Every structure is written in structure tokens, then in C-alpha cells.
Chains A and B, each alone.
Chain A
Amino acid sequence: MFSIYKKELQSFFFTPFAYVVTALFLFMFTFFFNGELGNQDQATFYFSYPNVFYNVIIMFIFLIPILTMRTFADERKFGTEVLLMTSPVNVAQIIIGKYLANITVFLFMLASSLIFPIYTAIKGEVVISQLICAYLGFFLWGAMYIAIGQLVSSFTENSIIAAILGEIVMFVFLFIDDFSMTAFIAQYPVIQAALYAFAAQPRFAYFSQGFIRLSDIVFFLSAIIVCLAWNYISIEKRRWKRG
């Protein structure tokens, strides 16, 4: 498991890949940060990190698939899947090793975004406790998206298709609560409740307000576990189905 983790990290950090993705992430962060700073519509000057995070999460839809699209698709494309499968490691170790590597790159991105709060703290004031909660929610959200992206990557050997499919699934996950609130769905309370159960946004809202609720953490963790377990099944299933 550790060797797979190490190899994945090498492929991110020994190539420009991780740095380019992080630069893009910071560019977007800056964009929304400045937008938020320049928000003059409020009677009183109003700025909060959770609002920045909200906007950046929309950008996750494009960023995370770039990170995860190659995870399994490229292994299949280059035929290196055979190497992994015929080595004395089991599939679960492969999946977890790769997942941890993706998470590490994501943490690298998050860490680089810390310059904004630090800068704010120097020039003004930051509510540390709220910031930590927001970062935790932000991290869990990203971790869930990485699990989704990794799962989608195991469906195909074309990394571009993996990225686009991932974007669609993530898009659905982001807007499922807005969708469940529409007048049409509201006619059917059962469906509304069912859809709302999958909504991640209201759960993130609690984090951004400074709440850490067990149920929210469980929500994100169970989403991650379901995706990784499905990932395992999809890889095993394909082995059984074809050659």
C-alpha cells in the first residue's frame, strides 16, 4: 500500500501536475476572495471565509476530476493494471493507497490556501474557530469528491471521459438540495425527503457556521466509504467480466 501511495505522489509532485492544479486552485481562490472583499452591497462591510469556500466548492467540480481522472483510467490504458493485480497486494490496498495519495495532493492545495487567512489575520481579524470548522467541512467535501472521482475513473480507460463523467456526478451532488426545493419536487414530500438526504450543501452550511455535528461528519465519511467500496466492486467486476 505504501509503495503505491509513494508512486502516486511521485507522479503528482515529480511532474508539474500537482503544482499546476494547485496554481489553478489558488487562482480561483484569489478570484473569489477578491470578489468577496469588494462586496460593497452590504450596508456594513461584510466578509467571511465560508462565503469564499462556497464559491470555491463550485470550482471543485472542475478541479477534482482533473486530479482524479487518471487514477485508474491510466492504469488500464498503459496496461499497468496487470502489474498491480499480479503483485502480492490486494485490490483494497491499491484503492486506499491511491485515495490517500489524492487526498495528500488535496491537502497540499488546502495548505497553500492558508496564505489568505494568514494575510487577513495580519491585516485584520479572523475568527479562528469558525475558520477551522469551515476548513474541516471544506476538506470533507473535497475528500468525498475525490472518492467520487476515483470511482468514476475506474469505469473507463479514457481519462477525459472519466473527468467529464465525474463533473456530471459532482454537479448533481452539489445542486441536489436546490433541485429538491423546486416547486415540482415539493409536490412529492417523499421524493423531496429522499433527495434531500443526499444533499451535501446544507451539511457544509453547518460547518461554515462553526458547528461540528457528528451526523454531518458521518454523512461525508459514509459517502467516502460507499464510493471506495463501489470502486473495489467495479474493479473486481471488470476482471470477472472481460479479459
Chain B
Amino acid sequence: MITIENLTKYYGKNRAVNNISFTINDNEILGFLGPNGAGKSTTMNMIAGYLPMTAGKVTICGSDISKEPVKAKKNLGYLPEIPPVYPDMRVREYLSFCAGLKRIPAAKKSKEIKRVMEQLRITDVKDKLIKNLSKGYKQRVGFAQALLGNPKFLILDEPTVGLDPNQVAEVRSIIRDLKKEHSVIFSSHILSEVSAVCDRVVIINKGDIKAIDTIENLEKQTGGSLILHIRINGSRTTAANIIEMTKGVDSITKIDVEGDDVYEFTVQLKGDGEEIKNNIMGELLKNNIRISEIYTEKPDLESVFVKLINAKSSKSGIKELFEEIAAENPEESSENEEKEDNE
């Protein structure tokens, strides 16, 4: 088990990671999810013992990484964001070097290297220079390095970035297979990937943990409320007012400008979808606003993620949303304003 307690990291005055705590259980795949720059890599570097922490504690199988680094690191395999490979070495040579670094006894070495090469399907490139390999293969060589010596815990920092879809699927299936013998911490900014592979998710943004839970629980969190999409043709101010006033509407989360006077509203609902939908439709038609499309949808993880990450902006009012749109499409919106005034 890896325990992370009150982990904090400052880069000068910048706080990269703020007082986070969580644990990784045995035989578990833990997803580490957050947008770019959220502090994922920093946290993983600290868990792996590459970066010292400003405050806090990481314990791997009972050994503190800053007090007994050698002992703690024996249970770890780490694949950083950039695979740590030497371009001038051959694949086999490199793995043999890593096996030595990980203190694998000489007698077991070649068997172990053979095993990881087969597991990651790099046996056919074993005599190639690493600099001549493609990005996907380099990534796999780095991955193979992490698996050497069968460490109990694997830390994989964005292992699928830059791979083609086939390779991504392959890497995912490898990660799933690893669960039998290892615990995996695996970071990503792609949500579907995490939900496809992980048992539990830690969502992090700007150094703070936003949520730690299983995928099912996260889905349940917003399971009751629906999301309504309406595409209208007409004045967006009137439409926005009507929608906001309707009972059971939580907030308008997004307004997309689709064309001349055509807008798509994304609305967060609180109550029964059908009834609200009918009420809104009725009101809009009364005000001569045409509706070209209307449907409700269950929120997926994506929206949970976005909601958790941007906890602030989803609560912002209509005015801010309009301002946002004006900033995005300056010409269009000024024209529209004029039209609305004429009306």
C-alpha cells in the first residue's frame, strides 16, 4: 500500500501541489485525472522519489520515501512522461542496464528482460538503437523498464500520450492485465481512458484534490439531474430569460452561437426532465422563438469532470456567459445586439 499524507510542493512561491492525501491499495488501478498543469506530474515525481516534497509524507510498503529511499524505490516502477531512454543504446542493452540498476540478480536478468519484452511486444526491435524507434516503441521500451523486477507498484505518467489509437488500446489492455499482480497509478487528462481502465479516480486541479471516488459513485453524484440541449432561432436574451425563469432549471451552463440568430443552450436541470422540457417549449413558442432541436441527456463523466474542475464557472450567471460569447465572437455578437435593439 502507498500512503500519501498532506503532500505539498512549492516551486519558489508557486504552489504546485497543495496538501493532498490519498492511498493506493493493493491490486488496484488508480486514475489520476486533471487538466494540463494540474500538478499530476509533480505529484507522481514526488511519489516516485524524484522530487523532494516541501511538506508531507509518502510511504511505500511501510518505508518512507525520503528516509529510506532505496528500500522504498525497490517496490516501484516508474514511467515518467518522457520515457527515460538513452537514444544511443540498443533496446536489450538498455533493459539490461535498467535491470542492473534495479538490482535484479544476474542469474534472473535475461529471463526477466525476455519476459518484459514479450509483455510489451518489443522483442522484434531488441537489437535496434532506441533513437531509431518510433514514439510508440520508445514509450513501450520505457514501460518495459518500469516492469523490470516485477515491482509491486507502478506509476505511469500519461502512458498513452502520443500513441496511435491501436497502441492506446494495447497499452490499456496491458494496464488492465497488470492489475492481477500490481497496483497501478496512472495519470491522464483524457477522461474516457481513465473510466475505461481505473477502479478509482483522483481528480486534481491546480494542486487541489477535487474528488476521490469510484467511477460509479462519480456518475451517481450527478445521476439525478439531467442536461437539456435546446437549439433555437430567435433572440437569445429572451430565450435565456425564459429558460432561467422556468421552474426546475438549475443553470444555463453554455450558449453556443451556431449561426445567424441560431443558438444552442446547454441547461442543467434539477427536476423531472419531461415536464421542464414541455414548459420551456411552450414558453419559447409563445415568444415566437423557433425550436429546431430539443433533447435531454444523462450527464456523463465528462461533465462531472468539467464541473469539478471548473467549479467556479458553472455557477456563473447568464451575464458572464454572454460576456464570454462576446469575447469569443466579437463581430457576430455586436451585430446581433443591434438587431435585438431594432426589435
Interface residues of chain A, those whose CB is within 8 Å of chain B, are: 2-4, 6-7, 10-11, 15, 78-90, 239-240, 242-243
The reply to whether B86 and A87 contact each other, CB–CB distance below 8 Å, is no
Which residues in window 97-115 of B have CB below 8 A to A? 97-103
Contacts of A81 in B (CB 8 A): 84
Contacts of A11 in B (CB 8 A): 86, 88-89
The reply to whether B11 and A82 contact each other, CB–CB distance below 8 Å, is no
A4 to B99, CA, bound (A): 11
B74 within 8 A of A: yes
9 sampled A-B residue pairs with Cβ under 8 A = A3-B99, A3-B100, A7-B89, A10-B89, A10-B97, A81-B84, A83-B78, A86-B76, A87-B98
The reply to whether A88 and B73 contact each other, CB–CB distance below 8 Å, is yes
B80 within 8 A of A: yes
Nearest-Cβ distance from residue B34 to partner chain A, whole angstroms: 16
The reply to whether A3 and B97 contact each other, CB–CB distance below 8 Å, is yes
B16 within 8 A of A: yes
Contacts of B183 in A (CB 8 A): none
Indicate whether A83 sits within 8 Å of B89 (C-beta atoms), given known contacts A88-B73, A90-B70, A243-B51: no
A128 to B73, CA, bound (A): 51
The reply to whether B70 and A83 contact each other, CB–CB distance below 8 Å, is no
B52 within 8 A of A: yes
A87 to B9, CA, bound (A): 22
> Across the two chains, which residue of chain A brings its CB closest to B90?
A14
The reply to whether B52 and A83 contact each other, CB–CB distance below 8 Å, is no
Contacts of B80 in A (CB 8 A): 79, 82-83
Contacts of B87 in A (CB 8 A): 78
> Across the two chains, which residue of chain B brings its CB closest to A87?
B101
Contacts of A4 in B (CB 8 A): 101
The reply to whether B86 and A79 contact each other, CB–CB distance below 8 Å, is no
B85 within 8 A of A: yes
Contacts of B240 in A (CB 8 A): none
Contact residue among B51, B74, B84, B85 (Cβ-Cβ distance under 8 Å from A88): B74
The segment from B41-49, B161-169, B184-192, B231-239 found at the interface with A is B41-49
Nearest first, the 5 closest Cβ-Cβ pairs linking A and B are A3-B100, A83-B84, A87-B101, A79-B82, A88-B73
Contacts of A82 in B (CB 8 A): 45, 48, 50, 78, 80, 84
Contacts of B100 in A (CB 8 A): 2-3, 6-7
A88 to B70, CA, bound (A): 4
Which residues in window 200-225 of B have CB below 8 A to A? none
Nearest-Cβ distance from residue A125 to partner chain B, whole angstroms: 45
The reply to whether A86 and B50 contact each other, CB–CB distance below 8 Å, is yes
> Across the two chains, which residue of chain B brings its CB closest to A3?
B100
The reply to whether B69 and A90 contact each other, CB–CB distance below 8 Å, is yes
The reply to whether B50 and A87 contact each other, CB–CB distance below 8 Å, is no
Contacts of B8 in A (CB 8 A): none
The reply to whether B45 and A243 contact each other, CB–CB distance below 8 Å, is yes
A224 to B195, CA, bound (A): 54
A240 to B48, CA, bound (A): 15
Contacts of A86 in B (CB 8 A): 48-50, 73, 76, 78
B139 within 8 A of A: no
Contacts of B78 in A (CB 8 A): 82-83, 86
A80 to B42, CA, bound (A): 16
Contact with A along B14-46 (1 / 0, CB 8 A): 001000000000000000000000000110010
Nearest-Cβ distance from residue B93 to partner chain A, whole angstroms: 7
Q: Specify which of B9, B76, B78, B100 lies most central, judged by the most chain A CB atoms within 10 Å of its CB.
A: B100
Contact with A along B63-85 (1 / 0, CB 8 A): 00000011101101010101111
Q: Specify which of A79, A86, A242 lies most central, judged by the most chain B CB atoms within 10 Å of its CB.
A: A86
Contacts of B101 in A (CB 8 A): 3-4, 83-84, 87-89
Q: Specify which of B41, B45, B48, B97 lies most central, judged by the most chain A CB atoms within 10 Å of its CB.
A: B97
Which residues in window 260-315 of B have CB below 8 A to A? none
The reply to whether A88 and B103 contact each other, CB–CB distance below 8 Å, is yes
> Across the two chains, which residue of chain B brings its CB closest to A240?
B52
Indicate whether A80 sits within 8 Å of B85 (C-beta atoms), given known contacts A3-B100, A88-B102, A243-B42: yes
Contact residue among B45, B49, B88 (Cβ-Cβ distance under 8 Å from A15): B88
B145 within 8 A of A: yes
A240 to B41, CA, bound (A): 16
Contacts of B73 in A (CB 8 A): 86-88
Contact residue among B41, B51, B82 (Cβ-Cβ distance under 8 Å from A239): B51
- 6 further A-B pairs in the complex, CB-CB below 8 A; given A6-B97, A83-B145, A86-B49: A7-B97, A79-B82, A83-B78, A83-B84, A87-B98, A242-B11
Q: Specify which of A80, A85, A88, A90 lies most central, judged by the most chain B CB atoms within 10 Å of its CB.
A: A88
